[in-house]
Amino acid sequence: MSDRFPYAGQAFIIKMDNGLEVKNAYHPDGKTITIEFLNGDLLGTVMDVPFTWREVAGGFFMVSWQESDKNTVVHCDNFEQQISYAYYTTMQGDFYVMEGKIS
């Protein structure tokens, strides 16, 4: 495994099955992500946070981070097949399982 995230310097829009749309922009450093909420209650919210990643089987990447509001996110993304599986836990204990299309 390379030490550098293969999609560093690229940005993707993810449209989740619950209607949520976000833009995830991976910084060229391969260690920071900018998350921008494109709709919903958090519309216009932008945060830069560190992320970790690991390549798994079948071209999927596990990508995780803790948002500035302390909510946690884990994605299992296949950028070539344009598939995203996301798991989101809020500080209040709400848990969301989502599936989306990456573009």
- Collapsing DSSP states into helix, strand and coil, what is residue 57? helix
pLDDT digits (tens, 9 = 90+) for 46-74: 999 999 999 999 999 999 999 989 999 99
The per-residue b/e assignment along 5-22, b for 16 or more CB within 10 angstroms, e otherwise, is bebbeeebebbbeeebeb
pTM of the full predicted structure?
A: 0.92
Dihedral pair phi/psi, residue 57, rounded to 5°: -60, 155
pLDDT digits (tens, 9 = 90+) for 86-102: 999 999 999 999 999 99
Render 11-55 in DSSP notation, one character per residue: EEEEEETTS-EEEEEE-TTSSEEEEEE-SSTTTT-EEEEEEEEEE
